[in-house]
Amino acid sequence: MTIGIFLSLGSVLPLEAQNTKLQAENLLLTAVEKLNSNDIQTAEALLKAVLKADAENDAGWYYMAQIAIMKKDLEMTEQCLRTAVELDPTNFWYRHKLAKLYSLTSRTELTIDMYEKLLEDFPKKSDLYFDLAEMYASQQEYDKALETISEIEKVFGITESIAVYRFNILRIMGRQEDAFESLREYNRQYSSPYVLSLLADYEMTMYNDSTAVAYYDEALDIAPDYSPALLGKAEALRVTRRYDEYFPVAYSYVEASDSPAEGKSDYLMAIVQRTDPKFIRSFQSQLDTLFTKAINVHPTDSTVLHTAALYYYSTGRDAAAKKYFGTNVKLYPESIAARASFVEFLMYTDQWEDLSVEGRAAFERFPEETGFLEMASVADYNLGEYGKVLDICRKVIEVAPADSSKTLRAWSTMGDVYHTLGDTKKAYKAYDKALKINPDYVYVLNNYAYYLSEEGKSLKKAYNMSRKTVEAEPDNATYLDTFAWILYLQGKAQEAKPYFKHAMLYGGKDSVVILDHYAEVLYALKDYDMAVVYWNMAIQKNNGKIPGLEEKVKQRKEALRK
């Protein structure tokens, strides 16, 4: 850029010909004040006047560059900075700002060249070394990055951050052993819990457990509460089954004040989810203490409370789990995750009365989440509160009419409930509503077809619906049973038989209803011996599920003897 770029722009504040430079300097000071107070428009006008009066005012060009970058005019920014540098090549800030602009615009070669020249002229500027090392590394010029790090050490001395930076560069280069040897070299001269922990972690990966523990101990001698070393040592002791030593160190880790609660929660969760169940059973009292200590240190932390709740649930102690799930909800009433965990826990543990209450409370807090209402309806269904279930279904349809997945489930549930209440007319209407939303919804198709078959009517309609289900899920024993039973009712026992045989391979033997149906088909085909076999299996599993089954089978056996 030529230094006369603004000479034709005019001046809002004319200057006298004499003492022009002096007045320009005074205007420059005012412009900077305006710029600092964020009065950009006035500052720009003043700077234009400065440069009209004194086109060689390098500071004027520099500050004009600041305004250009605020306007995101990078081309003008560069032109102004280049002019400032040409006018005063000894000014560090002009050149550094231009180098930063080159970096911002991804011109790495120009950036590196600028930094190298800056270092020649300003060898005591430590930031330049680090920036240059970063740029070398970004260009995969790792040897130059390492050379720059060595220069930093020569000028400023060895520090932990420099040692770790060298370590990371060497690892990127694939020089793993050199990387750790560089840390060992640093450790021979200086003491750093962080570096010692890195060395210990490495020794653990090399299965040098004793060496790893020694490094962790050295780190803890320097900083007894250093959580990475406590955690590392604890894990080294745990994996080597030195449990008597492990738990005291683990206790210290969860009680460490410098360790974030989330990190402790992650560790505790890993123990619960990934550890051999025998370990949890054998050391349950110690693990209880571990969780208690974590809660004592972080009594209101959501992640710790959630993890503790899952731990007690996984070990079959529902009362304790409920306490921590509930506490989490009370402390964080606006947390949908806390609510969802609590409600799901109540559902999985069959606490129907509480689920009915908490599901509704969660929906009141989060009215867009109708899933909470649906969970409450599960509770109401199990409590025999069918009217409440229907109310919830209607509410879901009312608040989410455009959400087909929610309305589909609502109409489906209404159909099931109406059928349970003996109102088949309303049940079938609800099922029709559901199938209008999704004609291929196999759950409704199966139930609708089966209930029709129970009534012995509309068997053709039942057949067509049931056929869709076995085509969609050919290994579903329940759907196979429905379809085969409809075939039997249509007088097609021989066609039904292979579907029942297939159902037996995929869980059918666990259902007393399917066993009874198959026996009926075999009986109709005069395969009496096998029919009796399956009826006997059904009787063993019945427990009142099919009223009168035993008497029916007894009569069939007596008929065979005649």
- Residue 342: its pLDDT value, please? 98
Reported as a pLDDT band with limits 50, 70 and 90, residue 13 is very low
Give the mean pLDDT of 228-236: 95
What is the rounded CA–CA span in Å between residue 92 and residue 75?
21
Give yes or no for residue 112 having a pLDDT over 60. Answer: yes
Number of CB atoms found within 10 A of residue 327's CB: 19
Q: Of residues 137 and 253, which shows the higher confidence score?
A: 253
- Residue 137: its pLDDT value, please? 80
Place of tokens 């010029």: 141
**Residue 429, C-beta contacts closer than 8 angstroms, at least 6 positions apart:** none
Residue 538 corresponds to which amino acid?
A
Find, among 185, 182, 245, the residue nearest to 209 by Cα: 245
Q: Of residues 444 and 52, which shows the higher confidence score?
A: 444
What is the rounded CA–CA span in Å between residue 173 and residue 179?
9
Do residues 501 and 512 make contact, with C-beta atoms less than 8 angstroms apart? no
- Residue 3: its pLDDT value, please? 39
Give yes or no for residue 149 having a pLDDT over 80. Answer: yes
Q: DSSP character for 383?
A: T
Find, among 324, 288, 285, 319, the residue nearest to 303 by Cα: 324
Reported as a pLDDT band with limits 50, 70 and 90, residue 396 is very high
Give yes or no for residue 18 having a pLDDT over 70. Answer: no
The tokens for 334 are: 């606006």
- Residue 80: its pLDDT value, please? 92
Give yes or no for residue 4 having a pLDDT over 60. Answer: no
Measure the N-to-C terminal CA separation of the chain; round to a whole number of Å.
116
Q: Of residues 147 and 439, which shows the higher confidence score?
A: 439
Find, among 473, 517, 515, 477, the residue nearest to 493 by Cα: 517
Reported as a pLDDT band with limits 50, 70 and 90, residue 20 is low
**Residue 193, C-beta contacts closer than 8 angstroms, at least 6 positions apart:** 219, 220, 222, 223, 226, 228, 229
Do residues 77 and 68 make contact, with C-beta atoms less than 8 angstroms apart? yes
Reported as a pLDDT band with limits 50, 70 and 90, residue 6 is very low
Give yes or no for residue 134 having a pLDDT over 90. Answer: no
Summarised one tens digit per residue, pLDDT across range 268-307 is 999 888 888 899 999 999 999 999 999 999 999 999 999 9
Largest CA distance in the chain: 137
What is the rounded CA–CA span in Å between residue 492 and residue 490?
6
What is the rounded CA–CA span in Å between residue 18 and residue 123?
42
Of 40-44, 321-325, 514-518, the poorest mean pLDDT is in 40-44
Q: Of residues 477 and 562, which shows the higher confidence score?
A: 477
- The topology under which CATH files domain 1-91 is 1.25.40
Give yes or no for residue 14 having a pLDDT over 60. Answer: no
- Tell me what the pLDDT averaged over the chain comes to: 90
For the whole model, what pTM was predicted?
A: 0.72
Residue 422, CA atoms < 13 Å, CB-side half-sphere: 0
Give yes or no for residue 16 having a pLDDT over 70. Answer: no
Give the mean pLDDT of 46-68: 88
The kind and range of the H/E element at 286 are helix 284-297
The string over 122-155, giving b where at least 16 C-beta atoms fall within 10 Å of a residue's C-beta and e elsewhere, is eeebeebbbbbbebbbeeebbebbbebbeebeee
What is the rounded CA–CA span in Å between residue 216 and residue 476?
55
Give yes or no for residue 5 having a pLDDT over 60. Answer: no
pLDDT > 70: what percent of the chain? 96
- Residue 158: its pLDDT value, please? 85
Report domain extents, the chain.
1-91
